[in-house]
Copies of this chain bind each other. A is one copy, B any other.
């Protein structure tokens, strides 16, 4: 904010800052898990997949704690205006982050279930590009959050289209090779695609919640209420 606000309410203000920081940190943990998942998928690293699942426990814990903190701040500080938007958005953002973490775990679980995938180079490369793109988007969502960058929503929405395109490509590739890889794997891979797509969606949602925090309204046709096409 523009003018100095002395000591007044700085603790409350600080606790909002801290909440933001912790949320971004939680997001970073999830981001790391997403990246780990990608690596596990591409390199059939079951150990990494197990790491992902393990790491998610910590994420869940931190999530619960943070969610409780946000709730308690709402109960104790009676926020209004920007602060309230921030806190309400934060409960949503936390949810988005936590969900993203779960999606990574889902991928990892699929990999473990099948004890690794054997993929064609084409699919492999598609998967790699898609996963990296999704992780990248997620990372940019977190940046938008950390910077409270109200404009990021639109940029991310655009970037999300790229992920969607890659997912589309992946589906086509899977469909073409469904005979080769067997139905189960095909379904599994299409799920992975879907998970990554949704991680990207969550990232876009996060950015849009940031817009809400800053401006008080969602961007036109917000992604959060867009049909999950």
Chain A contact residues: over half helix, strand or loop, or mixed? helix
Residue of B nearest to A187 (CB): B190
Q: How would residues 206 to 229 of chain A score, 1 for a CB under 8 Å from any chain B CB and 0 otherwise?
A: 000000000000000000111111
A186 adjacent to chain B (CB < 8 Å): yes
Decide: A84 and B91 in contact? CB cutoff 8 A. Answer: no
Chain B contacts for A109, CB-based, 8 A: 227, 229
The 8 Å CB contact of A225, one of B74, B98, B106, B226, is: B98
Decide: B92 and A56 in contact? CB cutoff 8 A. Answer: no
Within 8 A of B (CB), among A62-121: 63-64, 71, 74-76, 78, 80-81, 84-85, 88, 91-92, 95, 98-99, 102-103, 105-106, 109
Query: Residues on A close to B: CB < 8 A?
Result: 56, 60, 63-64, 71, 74-76, 78, 80-81, 84-85, 88, 91-92, 95, 98-99, 102-103, 105-106, 109, 171, 174-175, 178, 183-184, 186-187, 190, 194, 224-229
